[in-house]
């Protein structure tokens, strides 16, 4: 059951109102902008974009606002013989789009439409000797790809696949931990809130969160909030709506969401809404896009904003979906 | 994703301007789609020539994140050109062309993952990559944007590649690390807030110090402290240098302590082991018993208290049905049997507990689930702690001295005096800054952290420890006022400090410094009312209590109750609790006062009892009285009558809920008594407002769910 948040978080009365209906319309209109060059230039993000859009709509309580049947048909066409999904039809398979495709299919409860075993083959083929995962067969590695792999396998209930060495994955992630308690994209890489999210998420799913010093990392994460309420991703950088998700979900996994000022963050996200077109931008006054729209809305949901469907802090999918597939006790 | 950031929303345009823009856009779209069609033909016809390459060039100029085209391009280069290249020079020329192409595009899109990736592919495929040129190139990029993490990542990648080449020449590797170390100082001097540079410095310092003598290390570390001082005096609000300072100071790794192990029931045998923090059990602790002078393993199961049995600070062993135990039972916990949920702490060595089970008074404990035993001071059993013990492989576990004083993350010192000297020096330096900038939060935060480190070097019962605690609490209170955004973090920290101070009598220093254990005599009552607590940091400390008063704090969760195996009365009135949890595992609980909290929903009341059937109380048939007056739930769910009815709907268990506030109930009782005295008939309904104040209802967990 998708039950909207009932907790009435202290929402500042003078804060802008939440434009729920406009956001729904904004997301529905995304696929109609074929006269814009931008539409074509972002084609490689189509599958990711669908995940962002569909997830946002679910959290908004409008799960049927997109044509589910059409999306499933489209996704099937994006799957390659090796099991991976491309960012669009005829685009090469990559773990980023593979996770998005699986997330959408699970949200819609339509895993039956694809060959799950092949997806698992694909992901297993990307694990490297040191425990990390490559993004595709060209070999780029990044902790983001580790999270994509572990998240995807966990959603598919295939973490017990014999080809995987998950202890090595944990060891690798731990090697990415820094002097400040945060995590980077690779061993030695600077701490960054989005990389913290993927590493803490991976460790959460793998039951290895004891490698994280929650007080130290929670401190670092809480220092991401700036005076205007927005969150940045690294010290001395600008605020951005998408960090509402990366920082907040990490704090949530560490049971420390209360370490930042929720009403101020809510206000910042609401101010980044586009009152004309709907959608949310990276910060007030900028152009909205579906990426910032979903992470803004997911952030609001995690903050208990009234009227939104609860989101899961690890998987960034509706909580009732994660409950349905039986993964809720894991964290 | 980066390209989607920071685009300003444009002002509304005139109809003419809009039309012109749309026309232009149409042309651009047409051109782009035509290029894409050509690419499709190329891919389908396996064309690997110059024309094909040119199409990818044109497309990538327009859409640099179209990763598939980078893949197509590499395939064309490889199969159409490189595989047929007559010599290295020809191949290198091709790669160099690619590097130029990437560089020119990187200037426009310095944050495109795929482009940096293509560059790595070229260099790794070349026979003689010019890493020196790469280093110069990325240096330029970091001049344009000193925080570009792609740039920094790439820089570290180049160094790694070079180091790999010089695997055998350690001096070259060190020289390179030194030169990178110097690069970070250039960046830091340009801007003390360059966190990327501070970060890189932290990774290099360890490498440089690896083979240094103690003196050399001390010198280099002192140098770092000076650099930090420079930075924090320039801008005391800049977190970069402060976080670096904290890392330089390092943290003393505190070990996990076992507070004690005790028998809580003989039939079945139940043993509880309490830790001073939440731990994960990696291997079940070994339990054995002596039967006819032969030690045999005792079958049974370990569980943490609470419904989530994978983590906990209190663990209970229950013997398997039919298992027989002798006059002594021995528990051995090896250091790798547990790991702390908080990173960094370990059990320093294996420990062994021998518990005597011979003198049990069967008359006393038969019948009601050993309640009498539970009620005893936990030192009831002669608890002997012996060690060291042999490891699973038969070898004696070495009682190696674990380095306790981590002076920096790169040097460790076994000397307590050195550690104290360093901390005192830094504390006095930070204190000066706090005086200069009393409303600046970073010096205060760091001062508090340094003081907490210093506290680890003294006995927990010393006057100095108390002085430090008091100062740290004051510092948190100051932080709450000057940094309201993170107020609750400081409140949590303050709670920890206050809790430590108030529970000092419960623990003592173990002989095995720096561990702690329960003190010999345990209090049964504890008053922690009006202390501003937000949570109970270490509930295992409270294991012995019979009565706990937490009235008028800011506690948000009742989860800690699950570890309070002996508690009978808990006062949690005037807190911030929203739902009930944990009490189903508190087997002795009799009275729980929750008046004036924030419990708003019926479900949040029931949630406290859903696992009741699994809890001990269901077995003992004990009764709990819960006072819920003045919680929003009473009004939200339709008032007292309706709640009583709903509670009855649920089933049966020994829970008595009082919805009305205790104050009101007492007033009514007084009224009734007065009526009796005047000879009026008791229970007479005067105006329809009198209510049954408490209803005993039976509640069955199984049916509730």
User: What residue has token string 């059409």?
Assistant: A70
Q: Are B232 and B284 part of one and the same domain?
A: no
- Among B499, B534, B555, the domain-final residue is B499
Contact indicator for A207, A168 with CB cutoff of 8 Å: no
User: What percent of chain B clears pLDDT 90, i.e. is strictly above it?
Assistant: 48
Report B:188-217 residues touching A (Cβ under 8 A): 193-196, 199-200, 202-203
**B470-492 burial: b if 16+ Cβ within 10 Å, else e:** eebbebbebbbeebebbbbbbbb
CA A228 to CA A242: how far, in whole Å? Answer: 15
Q: What's the token pair of residue B654?
A: 């020994």
Give the per-residue pLDDT at B647. 64
Query: Cα dist. A172→A122, A184, A203, B201, B480 in Å?
Result: 20, 11, 11, 21, 38
Backbone torsion region of residue B639, taken as left when φ is above 0, otherwise alpha when ψ lies between -120 and 50, otherwise beta: left
**End-to-end CA, chain A:** 20
In 3D, which of A181, A145, A185, A172 has the Cα closest to residue A256? Answer: A181
The residues, any chain, with a CB within 8 Å of residue B461's CB and separated by 6 or more, are B504, B508, B509
Pairing of strands B351-356, B383-386: antiparallel
Q: Where residue B371 sits, what CATH number does that domain have?
A: 2.60.40
Query: Residues A131-155: what's their mean pLDDT?
Result: 97
Q: Where residue A125 sits, what CATH number does that domain have?
A: 1.50.10.20
Does residue A7 fall inside a structural domain? no
CA A128 to CA A149: how far, in whole Å? Answer: 12
Q: B26 and A35: CB-CB below 8 Å? A: yes
- B184 contact A CB<8A: no
Does residue A250 fall inside a structural domain? yes
Q: What's the token pair of residue B694?
A: 């408490």
Count of positions (residues) in chain B: 705
Q: What's the token pair of residue B606?
A: 């029931």
Taken in order B216, B217, B218, B223, the sign of the CA dihedral is positive
Give the per-residue pLDDT at A303. 96
Contact indicator for B264, B279 with CB cutoff of 8 Å: no
Residue B118 has pLDDT above 90, yes or no: yes
Query: Residues A1-28: what's their mean pLDDT?
Result: 78
**B193-212 burial: b if 16+ Cβ within 10 Å, else e:** bbbbbbbbbbbbbebbbeee
CA B696 to CA B677: how far, in whole Å? Answer: 27
Min Cα distance B577 → chain A (Å) is 14
Q: Are B243 and B262 part of one and the same domain?
A: no
- A215 contact B CB<8A: yes
Which pLDDT tens digit goes with each residue over A171-203? 999 999 999 999 999 999 999 999 999 999 999
- Among B197, B227, B249, the domain-final residue is B249
Q: What's the token pair of residue B525?
A: 């009552």
User: What percent of chain B clears pLDDT 70, i.e. is strictly above it?
Assistant: 82
**A298-326 burial: b if 16+ Cβ within 10 Å, else e:** bbbbbbbbeebbbbbbbbbbbbbbbeebe
Residue B379: band (very low, low, confident or very high) from pLDDT cuts 50, 70, 90: very low
CA A324 to CA A331: how far, in whole Å? Answer: 15
Q: Are B571 and B604 part of one and the same domain?
A: yes
User: What residue has token string 């789009």?
Assistant: A97
SS3 per-residue string spanning B292-357: CCEEEECCEEEEECCCCCCEEEEEEEEECCCCCCCCEEEEEECHHHEEECCCCCCCCCCEEEEEEC
Q: What's the token pair of residue B133?
A: 């040129």
Among A28-32, B8-12, B71-75, the minimum mean pLDDT is found in: B8-12
Contact indicator for B208, B182 with CB cutoff of 8 Å: no
Q: B7 and A286: CB-CB below 8 Å? A: yes
C-alpha B7: how far from chain center: 36
Does residue A10 fall inside a structural domain? no
Does residue B3 fall inside a structural domain? no
Determine how many CB atoms are found less than 10 A away from the CB of residue B384.
12
- B181 contact A CB<8A: no
Residue B590 has pLDDT above 90, yes or no: no
Q: Are B492 and B444 part of one and the same domain?
A: yes
Contact indicator for A93, A122 with CB cutoff of 8 Å: yes
Query: Residues B400-426: what's their mean pLDDT?
Result: 65
Q: Where residue B421 sits, what CATH number does that domain have?
A: 1.25.40.10
Contact indicator for B270, B263 with CB cutoff of 8 Å: yes
Give the domain extent around B366. Answer: 258-386
Which pLDDT tens digit goes with each residue over A34-64? 889 999 999 999 999 999 999 999 999 999 9
Residues of A in contact with B6 (CB under 8 A): 282-283, 286
CA A53 to CA A58: how far, in whole Å? Answer: 9
Q: Are B469 and B576 part of one and the same domain?
A: no
Which pLDDT tens digit goes with each residue over A264-298? 999 999 999 999 999 999 999 999 999 999 999 99
Q: What's the token pair of residue B400?
A: 């190696």
In 3D, which of B573, B577, B584 has the Cα closest to residue B557? Answer: B577
Min Cα distance A156 → chain B (Å) is 23
Which pLDDT tens digit goes with each residue over B630-683? 999 988 888 877 777 666 555 555 677 788 888 888 888 888 887 766 544 333
User: Using CB atoms, which residue from A37, A186, A274 is nearest to B25?
Assistant: A37
Residues of A in contact with B486 (CB under 8 A): 222-223, 225, 259-261
Q: What's the mean per-residue pLDDT of chain A?
A: 94
At B80 the three-state DSSP class reads: helix
Q: What single DSSP character describes residue A209?
A: G
Q: Are B618 and B672 part of one and the same domain?
A: yes
- B40 contact A CB<8A: yes
Q: B489 and A235: CB-CB below 8 Å? A: no
Determine how many CB atoms are found less than 10 A away from the CB of residue B248.
23
C-alpha A168: how far from chain center: 24
Does residue B10 fall inside a structural domain? no
Measured between CA atoms, the residue of chain B closest to residue A234 is B195
At B279 the three-state DSSP class reads: strand
Give the domain extent around A63. Answer: 20-330
Residue A245's H or E segment, with its range, is helix A242-253
- A178 contact B CB<8A: yes
- A92 contact B CB<8A: yes
Residues of A in contact with B74 (CB under 8 A): 138
User: What residue has token string 């050399």?
Assistant: B216
- B164 contact A CB<8A: no
CA A215 to CA A218: how far, in whole Å? Answer: 5
Q: Are B370 and B426 part of one and the same domain?
A: no
Count of positions (residues) in chain A: 331
Residue B268: band (very low, low, confident or very high) from pLDDT cuts 50, 70, 90: confident
Residue B692: band (very low, low, confident or very high) from pLDDT cuts 50, 70, 90: very low
- Among B249, B271, B286, the domain-final residue is B249
Contact indicator for A239, A265 with CB cutoff of 8 Å: no
Q: What's the mean per-residue pLDDT of chain B?
A: 82
What is the value of ipTM here, to two decimals? 0.95
Contact indicator for A288, A241 with CB cutoff of 8 Å: no
Query: Residues B71-79: what's their mean pLDDT?
Result: 96
Q: Are B477 and B539 part of one and the same domain?
A: no
Beta-sheet strands, E only, within chain A? 280-281, 288-289
Query: Which residues does residue A222 pair with via DSSP β-bridges, in sequence order?
Result: none
Would you report the helix, strand and coil content of chain A in percent, each value rounded to 5? 50, 5, 45
Does residue A9 fall inside a structural domain? no
Give the per-residue pLDDT at B410. 53
Q: A261 and B485: CB-CB below 8 Å? A: yes
DSSP class per residue in B356-424: E-TT--HHHHTTTTTHHHHHS-GGGS-EEEE---B-TTSSBPP-PPPP-B-SSSS--B--HHHHHHHHH
Q: What single DSSP character describes residue A3?
A: P
Residue B353: band (very low, low, confident or very high) from pLDDT cuts 50, 70, 90: confident
CB-side neighbour CA atoms (13 Å) of A248: 29
In 3D, which of B309, B306, B328, B322 has the Cα closest to residue B261? Answer: B328
Q: Are B226 and B84 part of one and the same domain?
A: yes
Among B110-119, B164-173, B382-391, the minimum mean pLDDT is found in: B382-391
State how many domains chain A has.
Answer: 1
Does residue A213 fall inside a structural domain? yes
CA A194 to CA A241: how far, in whole Å? Answer: 12
State how many domains chain B has.
Answer: 4
Q: A94 and B67: CB-CB below 8 Å? A: yes
Q: Are B82 and B160 part of one and the same domain?
A: yes
**A120-133 burial: b if 16+ Cβ within 10 Å, else e:** bebbbebbbeebbb
Report A:114-173 residues touching B (Cβ under 8 A): 138, 140
CA B98 to CA B103: how far, in whole Å? Answer: 8
Min Cα distance A181 → chain B (Å) is 10
Report A:12-71 residues touching B (Cβ under 8 A): 34-37, 40-41, 43-45
Residue B318 backbone dihedrals phi, psi, to 5 degrees: -125, 130
Taken in order B613, B617, B619, B623, the sign of the CA dihedral is negative
C-alpha A20: how far from chain center: 20
Determine how many CB atoms are found less than 10 A away from the CB of residue B235.
14
Task: Look at A57 and B413; give whichever has higher pLDDT.
Answer: A57
CA A224 to CA B325: how far, in whole Å? Answer: 56
Q: Are B162 and B267 part of one and the same domain?
A: no
Does residue B12 fall inside a structural domain? no
C-alpha B524: how far from chain center: 31
| Cα angle B318-B324-B330, degrees, rounded to a multiple of 5 | 65
Measured between CA atoms, the residue of chain A closest to residue B159 is A188
Q: Are B116 and B186 part of one and the same domain?
A: yes
Does residue A2 fall inside a structural domain? no
Residues of A in contact with B62 (CB under 8 A): 41
Q: Where residue B533 sits, what CATH number does that domain have?
A: 3.80.10.10
In 3D, which of A15, A14, A17 has the Cα closest to residue A307? Answer: A17
């Amino acid at each position: 059951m998708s039950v909207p948040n009932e907790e009435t978080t202290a929402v500042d009365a003078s804060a802008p109102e939440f434009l729920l209906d406009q956001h729904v319309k904004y997301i529905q209109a995304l696929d109609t902008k074929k006269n814009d060059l931008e539409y074509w230039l972002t084609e490689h993000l189509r599958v990711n974009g669908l995940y962002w859009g569909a997830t946002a709509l679910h959290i908004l309580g409008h799960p049927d606002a997109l044509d589910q049947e059409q999306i499933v048909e489209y996704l099937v066409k994006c799957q390659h013989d090796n099991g991976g999904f491309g960012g669009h039809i005829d685009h090469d398979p990559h773990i980023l789009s593979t996770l998005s495709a699986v997330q959408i299919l699970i949200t819609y409860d339509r895993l039956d439409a694809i060959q799950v075993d092949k997806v698992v083959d694909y992901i297993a083929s990307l694990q490297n000797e040191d425990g990390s995962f490559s993004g595709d067969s060209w070999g780029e590695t990044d902790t983001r790809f580790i999270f994509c792999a572990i998240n995807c396998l966990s959603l598919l209930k295939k973490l017990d696949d014999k080809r995987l060495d998950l202890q090595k994955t944990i060891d690798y992630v731990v090697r990415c931990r820094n002097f400040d308690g945060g995590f980077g994209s690779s061993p030695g890489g600077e701490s960054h809130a989005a990389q913290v999210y993927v590493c803490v998420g991976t460790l959460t799913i793998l039951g290895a969160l004891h490698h994280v010093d929650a007080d130290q990392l929670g401190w670092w994460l809480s220092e991401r909030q700036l005076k205007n309420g927005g969150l940045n991703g690294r010290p001395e950088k600008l605020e951005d709506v998408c960090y509402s998700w990366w920082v907040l979900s990490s704090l949530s996994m560490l049971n420390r969401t209360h370490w930042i000022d929720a009403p101020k963050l809510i206000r910042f996200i609401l101010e980044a809404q586009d009152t004309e077109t709907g959608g949310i931008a990276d910060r007030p006054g900028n152009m909205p896009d579906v990426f910032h729209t979903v992470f803004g809305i997911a952030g609001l949901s995690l903050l208990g904003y009234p009227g939104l469907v609860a989101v899961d802090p690890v998987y960034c999918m509706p909580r009732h979906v994660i409950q349905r597939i039986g993964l809720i006790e894991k964290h | 994703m980066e390209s989607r950031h920071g685009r300003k929303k444009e002002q509304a345009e005139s109809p003419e301007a809009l039309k012109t823009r749309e026309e232009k856009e149409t042309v651009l779209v047409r051109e782009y789609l035509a290029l894409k069609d050509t690419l499709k033909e190329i891919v389908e016809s396996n064309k690997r020539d110059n024309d094909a390459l040119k199409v990818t060039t044109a497309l990538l100029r327009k859409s640099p994140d179209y990763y598939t085209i980078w893949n197509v391009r590499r395939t064309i280069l490889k199969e159409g050109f490189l595989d047929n290249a007559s010599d290295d020079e020809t191949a290198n020329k091709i790669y160099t062309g690619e590097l130029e192409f990437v560089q020119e595009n990187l200037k426009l899109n310095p944050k495109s993952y795929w482009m940096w990736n293509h560059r790595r592919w070229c260099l790794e495929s070349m026979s003689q990559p010019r890493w020196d040129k790469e280093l110069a190139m990325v240096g330029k990029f970091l001049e344009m944007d000193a925080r570009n993490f792609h740039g920094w990542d790439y820089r570290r990648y180049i160094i790694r590649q070079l180091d790999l080449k010089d695997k055998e020449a350690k001096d070259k590797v060190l020289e390179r690390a030194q030169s990178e170390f110097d690069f970070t100082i250039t960046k830091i001097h340009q801007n003390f807030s360059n966190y990327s540079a501070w970060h890189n410095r932290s990774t290099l310092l360890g490498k440089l110090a690896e083979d240094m003598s103690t003196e050399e290390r001390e010198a280099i570390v002192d140098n770092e402290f000076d650099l930090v001082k420079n930075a924090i005096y320039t801008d005391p609000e800049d977190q970069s240098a402060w976080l670096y300072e904290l890392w330089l100071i390092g943290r003393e790794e505190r070990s996990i302590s076992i507070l004690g192990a005790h028998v809580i029931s003989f039939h079945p045998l139940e043993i509880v082991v309490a830790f001073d923090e939440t731990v994960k059990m990696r291997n079940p602790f070994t339990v054995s018993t002596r039967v006819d002078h032969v030690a045999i393993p005792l079958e049974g199961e370990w569980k943490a208290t609470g419904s989530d049995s994978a983590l906990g600070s209190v663990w209970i062993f229950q013997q398997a049905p039919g298992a027989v135990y002798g006059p002594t039972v021995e528990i051995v916990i090896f250091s790798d049997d547990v790991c702390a949920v908080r990173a960094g702490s370990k059990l320093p060595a294996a420990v062994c507990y021998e518990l005597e089970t011979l003198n049990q008074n069967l008359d006393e404990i038969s019948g009601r689930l050993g309640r009498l035993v539970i009620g005893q001071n936990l030192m009831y059993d002669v608890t002997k702690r012996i060690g060291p013990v042999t490891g699973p492989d038969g070898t004696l576990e070495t009682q190696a001295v674990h380095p306790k004083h981590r002076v920096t993350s790169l040097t460790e010192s076994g000397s307590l005096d050195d550690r104290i000297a360093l901390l005192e020096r830094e504390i006095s330096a930070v204190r000066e800054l706090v005086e200069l900038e009393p409303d600046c939060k970073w010096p205060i935060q760091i001062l508090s952290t340094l003081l907490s480190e210093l506290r680890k070097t003294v006995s927990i019962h010393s006057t100095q420890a108390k002085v430090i605690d008091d100062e740290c609490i004051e510092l948190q209170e100051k932080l709450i006022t000057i940094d309201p955004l993170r107020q609750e973090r400081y409140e949590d920290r303050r709670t920890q400090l206050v809790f430590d101070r108030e529970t000092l009598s419960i623990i003592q220093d173990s002989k095995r410094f720096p561990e702690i254990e329960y003190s010999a005599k345990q209090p049964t009552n504890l008053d922690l009312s009006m202390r501003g607590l937000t949570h109970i940091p270490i509930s295992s400390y409270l294991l012995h209590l019979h009565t706990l008063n937490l009235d008028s704090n800011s506690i948000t969760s009742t989860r800690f109750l699950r570890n309070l195996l002996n508690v009978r009365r808990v006062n949690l009135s005037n807190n911030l609790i929203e739902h009930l949890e944990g009490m189903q595992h508190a087997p002795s609980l009799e009275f729980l006062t929750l008046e004036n909290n924030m419990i708003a929903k019926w479900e949040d009341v029931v949630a406290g009892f859903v696992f009741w059937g699994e809890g001990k109380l269901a077995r003992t048939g004990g009764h709990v009285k819960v006072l819920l007056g003045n919680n929003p739930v009473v009004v939200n769910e339709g008032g007292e009558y309706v709640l009583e009815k709903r509670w009855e709907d649920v089933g049966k268990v020994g829970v008595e809920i009082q919805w009305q506030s205790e104050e009101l109930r007492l007033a009514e009782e007084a009224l009734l008594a007065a009526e009796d005295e005047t000879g009026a008939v008791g229970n007479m309904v005067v105006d329809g407002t009198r209510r049954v104040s408490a209803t005993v209802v039976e509640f069955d967990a199984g049916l509730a769910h």
